[in-house]
Amino acid sequence: MRYTQLSANEIAQKVQAGELKASDMLDASLAQIRAVDGDFGSLDGQATDPETDKKVHAFISLTEEMARAQAQAVDAKVANGEDAGLLAGVPVSIKDIFALENTVTTAASRMLHNYRAPYTASAVQKLMDAGALIVGKVNLDEFTFGSSNESSAYQPASNNPWNTAHVPGGSSGGSAAAVAAEETPLSLGTDTGGSIRQPAAFCGVVGLKPSYGRISRYGLIAFASSLDCPGPLSRNVEDAALMLQVMAGADERDESSATLPVPNYLEALQQDVKGMRIGLSPDYAGIAYPNHKTGEFEIIPVQEEIKQATLDAAEQLARQGAEIIENVPMPHTRYGIPVYFVVSRIEASSNLNRMDGVKYGFTVADARDLQDLYKRTRTEGFGPQPKLRILMGAYLSAASKKVNYYQLASQVRGMIRRDFELAFEPKGAYQLDALLTPTTPTTAFKRAEVFGDSVLMQYADQMTVSVNHAGLPAITVPAGLDNKNLPIGIQFIANHFREDIVLRAAHAYEQSTLDAVWRKVRPMALQEVN
Ligand code: GLN
């Protein structure tokens, strides 16, 4: 087996045992990147032709020198008989929204194309302290605004390794693509409305959004501060647990980080699902799309194969002793996207105020005065998505408005949270340990198919966004391929800080499908090279 096909856990074990050198692992990862990635995203790059472009384009930049030094340090530790860490010698890619000292952190925006962070994000620091090799920064939708990667100012944006004419999802699309294309076994992403889980599902990998506050946000460029969560993308559930283990925990630099002790997530995987109560909800059967003319919600059903995969997974888990509870009402799920529009736009527009040409990154050279500097820096520095979101956020929060939309949305957000509370309530009618849902309404769409319709694009997050509103943990795991050989993902959601439960359920499902025929199929982008 090629080194690049090893899981993170296998790599770390082999490196610690002296069977594999961290520097050889790094070489293998870099060779794979050279073989499958093609041109990296850049500001003067162009979108490519979906018909002919077979490359993945996950990366924006490599941090090869840094990774080389980290690999040497790991190898030296192993030679000295020291503990080299849980991620010893594991190549990791980082969504380019995390600060990493001595490198450029772009947020895939012209606005930050030259921004060198003077510090390193806590999550990234913890990865490095655990022996990981940070090989580079991967592409994303500009400032994490999108569900397809296409809104990146760094083109070519990432493609889906399963079919390069399709999007990898977003905004952590570069992360999902890098993991699926075996460039790095792990990638660090962020999830505000679904940005880890949706691309993970589109690319056939595992993606975990932890509880709000479980992983520090320090050094993560903010999108919507009350929703943002860093989290792992990996090729199997054990690796997601491993990466979470390393990154979770309180951080004095982020006062919203949780001070709860970090359990042993890897140990949780040893347990089976006997007696676990897993719910299915009719409110996750389709997209509820408000018809703006009639004011009514129209239900667009989830793609049939995804619905079937979710039901099959429930059956599979029932065979292992889980109890399946059907018809759990989650009636406020349909308000998830409208509420997200309000909350995320207002918070984004406020967070982006700091990008003014004075403090960070891009600035126009010949401003006449301060107003001119702000105006032209923001006009030239931001792409269409940040502009749209700033405008909408400013409109929704305008002081002259009679309606306080943020407050209204926060109230509905409370109702969404309440749905989950009732479902998980230990003495309630359902007493669920976990809810099982599709991760996305469809499999990966074609490039250019949805791009340009910001509302439709946003509905790619219908199955994921309520979890962000409630601050809960959720995981997506691969659950098959559709008739076009595009990956299907299913999602497990649990109560606050019960990452152990979603990991356990996902692991049990994964282990019971290891011999499934669909697991033998390789992503298209890998078929030609290896
Ligand atoms: N797709 C969503 C959006 O466009 C979610 C983004 C995210 O989770 N960062 O806002």
How many angstroms is it from 517 CA to the middle of ligand 1?
32
List, in sequence order, the alpha helices (H) in 148-264. Answer: 173-180, 197-202, 237-247
- Round to whole Å and give the CA distance between 369 and 373: 6
- Paired sense of beta strands 474-481 and 133-138, if any: unpaired
Q: State the distance from the centre of ligand 1 to the C-alpha of 225, rounded, in angstroms.
A: 13
Distance in Å, CA 490 to ligand 1 centroid: 18
- CA of 100 from ligand 1 middle (Å) equals 22
Per DSSP bridges, beta strands 186-191 and 229-234 are: antiparallel
Q: Ligand 1, from 140, 142, 147, 220: best to mutate by most atoms within 8 Å of Cβ?
A: 147
Q: 411 C-alpha vs ligand 1 centroid, how far in Å? A: 21
Which single residue is written with the structure tokens 């070489």?
27
Q: Which atom of ligand 1 is nearest to the CA of 198?
A: 1
What pLDDT was estimated at residue 400? Answer: 75
Q: Which residues contact 508 (CB under 8 A, 6 or more apart)?
A: 272, 273, 317, 320, 322
What whole-number distance in Å separates Cα of residue 164 and Cα of residue 528?
A: 13
* Residues 258/211, Cβ–Cβ less than 8 Å: yes
State phi, psi for 191 to the nearest 5 degrees. -135, 115
Q: What single letter denotes the amino acid at residue 530?
A: N
Phi-psi domain of 281 (left: phi exceeds 0; alpha: psi -120 through 50; beta: other): beta
Q: Which of 61, 93, 195, 466 is catalytic?
A: 195
- Identify whether the C-beta of residue 170 lies closer than 8 Å to the C-beta of residue 142: no
Q: Ligand 1 pocket: which of 97, 98, 145, 462 to mutate (most atoms <8 Å of CB)?
A: 145
Minimum-distance ligand 1 atom for the alpha carbon of 224: 9
Give me the domains of the chain, ranges plus CATH numbers: 3-268+499-527 (3.90.1300.10)
What was the pLDDT predicted at 292? 80
| Residue 169: strand, helix, or coil | coil
Is the separation of the CB atoms in 491 and 236 below 8 Å? no
Catalytic residue among 95, 126, 137, 209: 95
pLDDT at position 530 is 63
In the predicted model, residues of the chain with pLDDT beneath 50 are: none
The active-site residue, picked from 93, 171, 211, 344, is 171
**Tokens 């399946």, residue?**
324
Listed residue (143, 155, 98, 90) closest to 124, CA to CA: 98
Catalytic residue flag (residue 77): no
**Cis previous bond, 232, omega within 30:** no
Residue type, 406: Y
Q: Which residues line ligand 1 (CB under 6 A)?
A: 144-147, 171, 190-195, 223, 344, 458, 461
Q: Which residue bears the tokens 């059956």?
A: 315
**Ligand 1: nearest atom to the Cα of 144:** 9
Q: Of all atoms in ligand 1, which is nearest to the CA of residue 192? A: 8
**pTM exceeding the 0.75 threshold for the entire prediction:** yes
Distance from the first to the final alpha carbon of the chain = 11
Rg (CA), the chain: 22
Say if residues 501 and 494 touch (Cβ distance below 8 Å).
yes
Residues 6+ apart with CB under 8 A from 224: 192, 343, 344, 347, 348, 351
Which of 95, 97, 142, 144 has the most ligand 1 atoms within 8 A of CB, as the residue to mutate? 144
* Alpha carbons 59 and 51: distance in angstroms, whole number: 21
Is residue 171 flagged as an active site residue?
yes
Residue-by-residue DSSP string for 67-99: HHHHHHHHHHHHHTT----TTTT-EEEEETTB-
Question: 465 C-alpha to center of ligand 1: Å?
Answer: 9
What is the number of other CB atoms lying within 10 angstroms of the CB of residue 417? 17
- Encode 109-138: b = buried (16+ Cβ within 10 Å), e = exposed: bbbbbebebeebbbbbbbbbebbbbbbbbb
What are the C-alpha distances in Å from 322 to residues 188, 278, 318? 31, 7, 5
* CA nearest to 163, candidates 5, 55, 45: 55
Q: Residue 458's pLDDT is what?
A: 86
Atom 10 of ligand 1: nearest residue by CA position = 145
Between the CA of 170 and the centroid of ligand 1 the distance, in Å, is 7
